[in-house]
């Protein structure tokens, strides 16, 4: 469906013709005008008319309709195609929500297609319309603003992930905590989120770097400096993603080491108790053989003496194991 459609003259919004072909001709008839159409998960039929009017490449149209694309930058005859993956982090309950934004930039037009819930396009359009000076730079300004909003939100997501990761680390390393299977599931769930975040940020480095250099069609030379700022922010994000991944690996290794230590402690406790129970069992087993020639069987105090011997040995073993930290 078409979310919004506007014609911008000198950075000021005007309502275009309902006919996309006429609106595009109107935009191209003036040097300071361009058309910006925003769509949300369009069907093939809805996108077909726009494809014909704007002369979009069939491969780019297929990517825009099917989604599930990696961040990339493609140059086609008559248009520039940029794929971005905005990310929203909703904490432990909601997890990581990933969307997709496709930006077509051509001669006097911008076409944005979004999939999913995580999208900054509405806020970007509102902010740009409040600053006509930026919109005067044409379609390049829109592409920059969308990329900048997506990457800046990456920084917020990375900060939120770091906060939750610090809490997870504190829980694993707390001296009075009892780590268990739920801790392992939390760590692996966090690693899955970090991997999903990495898939959105890492592949975007190459397209943004290309946009910072000269020679990319439909990108104004004055926009190169702004794309360098986006590239700098993205570099910071990718560094934080790397640090999150390394820290998760360290936390997982520490958790597994803790589980090994606890298992060793449990085995020592089981061995100590088994040793203490083995002594009376062995003594009782000897006297359970019912031999005839055992003089102590006829003593008056033989039964209490054997019981006392069992208790004495068990107490001695208990004190020895306790002193060594096995119990």
For each of the domains in the chain, give its residue range(s) and CATH number, in order of start: 2-258 (3.30.460.20), 263-323 (1.20.58.340)
For 182-223, what is each residue's pLDDT tens digit? Answer: 777 788 888 888 888 999 999 999 999 999 988 888 888 888
Q: What's the confidence (pLDDT) of residue 207?
A: 93
* Cβ-contact 114, 131 below 8 angstroms: no
* pLDDT value of residue 116: 82
Helix axes 139-173, 121-129, angle to 10 degrees: 130
- Residue 91 is predicted with a pLDDT of 63
CB proximity list for 218: less than 8 A, separation 6 or greater: 79, 80, 105, 106, 107, 139, 140
Kindly report, residue by residue over 129-138, the tens digit of the pLDDT: 888 888 888 8
Give the model's pLDDT for residue 180: 54
Element (H, E) at 314: helix 302-323
Q: Three-state SS for 174? A: coil
pLDDT attached to residue 72: 92
Neighbours of 257 (CB within 10 A): 10
Query: Tens of pLDDT along the chain (327 residues)?
Result: 777 888 888 888 888 777 778 888 888 888 888 998 888 888 888 788 788 788 888 888 888 888 788 999 999 988 899 999 999 887 656 678 888 999 999 888 999 898 887 677 778 888 888 888 888 888 999 999 999 999 999 999 998 888 888 888 877 776 555 555 577 778 888 888 888 899 999 999 999 999 998 888 888 888 888 999 999 999 999 999 998 888 888 888 888 777 777 777 778 788 878 877 887 888 777 777 766 666 666 677 777 777 887 788 888 878 877 777 776
Output the pLDDT for position 309. Answer: 79
| Rama region for 235: left / alpha / beta (φ>0; ψ in -120 to 50; rest) | alpha
| Cα separation, 323 vs 327, whole angstroms | 8
Would you state the pLDDT for residue 268? 77
């Amino acid at each position: 469906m078409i979310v919004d459609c506007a014609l911008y003259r000198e950075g000021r919004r005007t309502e275009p013709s309902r006919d996309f072909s006429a609106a595009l001709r109107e935009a191209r008839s003036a040097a300071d005008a361009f058309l910006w159409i925003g769509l949300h998960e369009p069907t093939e039929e809805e996108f077909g008319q726009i494809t014909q009017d704007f002369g979009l490449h069939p491969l780019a149209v297929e990517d825009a309709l099917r989604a599930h694309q990696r961040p990339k930058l493609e140059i086609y005859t008559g248009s520039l195609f940029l794929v971005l993956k905005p990310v929203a982090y909703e904490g432990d309950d909601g997890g990581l929500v990933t969307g997709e934004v496709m930006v077509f930039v051509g001669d006097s037009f911008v076409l944005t297609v979004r999939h999913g819930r995580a999208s900054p396009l509405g806020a970007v359009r509102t902010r740009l319309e409040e600053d006509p000076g930026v919109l005067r730079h044409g379609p390049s300004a829109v592409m920059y603003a969308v990329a900048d909003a997506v990457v800046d939100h990456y920084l917020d997501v990375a900060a939120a992930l770091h906060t939750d990761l610090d809490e997870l680390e504190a829980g694993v390393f707390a001296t009075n905590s009892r780590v268990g299977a739920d801790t392992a599931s939390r760590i692996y769930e966090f690693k899955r989120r970090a991997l999903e975040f990495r898939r959105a940020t890492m592949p975007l480095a190459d397209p943004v770097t290309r946009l910072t250099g000269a020679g990319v069609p439909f990108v104004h030379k004055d926009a190169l400096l702004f794309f360098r700022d986006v590239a700098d922010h993205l570099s910071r994000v990718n560094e934080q993603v790397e640090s999150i991944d390394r820290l998760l690996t360290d936390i997982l290794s520490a958790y597994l080491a803790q589980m090994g230590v606890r298992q060793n402690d449990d085995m020592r406790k089981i061995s100590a108790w088994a040793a203490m129970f083995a002594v009376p069992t062995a003594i009782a087993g000897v006297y359970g053989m019912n031999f005839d020639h055992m003089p102590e069987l006829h003593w008056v105090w033989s039964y209490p003496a054997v019981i006392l011997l069992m208790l004495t040995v068990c107490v001695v073993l208990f004190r020895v194991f306790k002193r060594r930290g096995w119990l």
